[in-house]
């Protein structure tokens, strides 16, 4: 069994501190949901965990089985068993998904002899048509196709821990069910540990979490079982913030707090 441990994590972007002392612990086979309003730092957390370089870590630690990941380049973190499914997957024209997957598996020192077969099996399990494997990575994929492709990468790479950043966004109900079922199966068959970041409780009806955490004002302000997600649906984030006495100025619930939702609005 492995443990992903995040302790006292502080991180800034553009000189502004977004994560302010975040603690979380995920063990193999567990599903933890992180919920939070727009702009609360959910994607920042995912990028900081994976080592994106425009996010500055100002304190804390992130370990897998005691080994520090902060400071390691992204591919070294991947080699130690961490995977990130991006909220906004990047289009890479000219690089076929099949070739990309082969390079990623090889980069981690994994076997590639039966890779074509593994990719084909996973693609059919996830309802990814063969033609997507021939196209440039994510190029002109719909939202649903992108998230199926992210899940295909997860299944083929078989990491110890997966961070899923809004894997439910842009998915119709069928795609959401396919993706959630595949991830769920990995938690039981392969002991995958999951940090499922989401804005809505909808995902958690399909991918049943062991624990639910609420991220606000840069830290985890509440943790509980699945009933916490149900409660949030009722009270909303503002209601919970008021109940917990969190300074409203620190809780940015406006949609334009997401720089990608409105690139010129922030
Ligand atoms: P969430 O995923 O919870 O909606 P984000 O982590 O994307 O929130 O954003 C948290 C805050 O950090 C927002 O105020 C956002 O504008 C800011 N931010 C995130 N990423 C960047 C970036 N690359 N450059 C500038 N500001 C950013
Ligand atoms: Mg986000």
Q: Which two tokens stand for residue 172?
A: 């119709």
Protein residues with C-beta less than 5 angstroms from the ion ligand 2? 42-43, 87
Is the shortest distance between the CB of 120 and ligand 1 below 6 Å?
Answer: no
High-pLDDT (> 90) share of the chain, %: 66
Q: For the domain made up of 3-257, give the CATH fold.
A: Rossmann fold (3.40.50)
Q: How confident is the model at residue 251 (pLDDT cuts 50, 70, 90)?
A: low
pLDDT of residue 173: 87
Distance CA 102, CA 115 (A): 7
DSSP 250: G
Of the bound ligands, which one is closest to the alpha carbon of residue 36? Answer: 1
Is residue 42 predicted with pLDDT exceeding 80?
yes
Mean of all residue pLDDT scores within the chain: 90
pLDDT of residue 256: 45
For the segment 168-223, what is each residue's pLDDT rounded down to a tens digit?
A: 888 888 889 999 999 999 999 999 999 999 988 888 988 999 999 999 989 999 99
DSSP secondary structure string, 123-173?
A: HHHTT--HHHHHSEETTT--HHHHHHHHHHHHHHH--SEEEEESTTTT--H
Conformational region of residue 42, where left means phi above 0, alpha means psi within -120 to 50, and beta covers everything else: alpha
Position in ligand 1 atom list of the atom nearest CA 37:
3
pLDDT of residue 265: 32
pLDDT of residue 108: 84
pLDDT of residue 196: 97
SS3 96: strand
pLDDT of residue 170: 82
pLDDT of residue 132: 85
pLDDT of residue 112: 83
Is the shortest distance between the CB of 52 and ligand 1 below 6 Å?
Answer: no
How far, in Å, is the centroid of ligand 2 from the Cα of 259? 9
Is residue 260 predicted with pLDDT exceeding 70?
no
The pTM (predicted TM-score) of the whole model is 0.91
Is the shortest distance between the CB of 48 and ligand 1 below 6 Å?
Answer: no
Longest pairwise C-alpha distance within the chain: 56
For the segment 102-147, what is each residue's pLDDT rounded down to a tens digit?
A: 999 988 888 888 888 999 999 999 988 888 888 999 998 888 889 9
pLDDT of residue 248: 57
């Amino acid at each position: 069994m492995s443990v992903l441990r995040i302790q006292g994590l502080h991180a800034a972007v553009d000189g502004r501190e977004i994560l302010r002392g975040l603690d979380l612990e995920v063990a193999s086979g567990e599903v933890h949901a992180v919920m939070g309003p727009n702009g609360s730092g959910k994607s920042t957390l995912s990028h900081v965990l994976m080592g994106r370089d425009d996010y500055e870590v100002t304190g804390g630690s992130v370990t897998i089985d005691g080994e520090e990941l902060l400071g390691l380049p992204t591919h070294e973190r991947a080699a130690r068993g961490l995977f990130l499914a991006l909220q906004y997957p990047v289009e890479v024209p000219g690089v076929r998904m099949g070739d990309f997957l082969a390079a990623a598996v090889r980069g981690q020192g994994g076997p590639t002899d039966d890779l074509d077969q593994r990719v084909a099996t996973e693609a059919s399990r996830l309802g990814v048509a063969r033609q997507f494997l021939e196209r440039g990575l994510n190029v002109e994929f719909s939202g649903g196709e992108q998230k199926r492709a992210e899940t295909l990468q997860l299944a083929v790479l078989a990491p110890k821990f997966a961070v899923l950043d809004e894997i439910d966004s842009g998915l119709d109900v069928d795609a959401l069910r396919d993706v959630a079922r595949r991830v769920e199966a990995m938690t039981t068959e392969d002991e995958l540990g999951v940090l499922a970041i989401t804005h809505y409780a909808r995902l958690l009806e399909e991918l049943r979490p062991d624990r639910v955490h609420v991220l606000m004002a840069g830290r985890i302000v509440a943790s509980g079982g699945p009933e916490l997600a149900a409660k949030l649906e009722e009270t909303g984030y503002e209601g919970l913030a008021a109940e917990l006495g969190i300074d409203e100025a620190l809780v940015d619930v406006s949609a334009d707090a997401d720089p990608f939702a409105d690139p010129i609005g922030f």
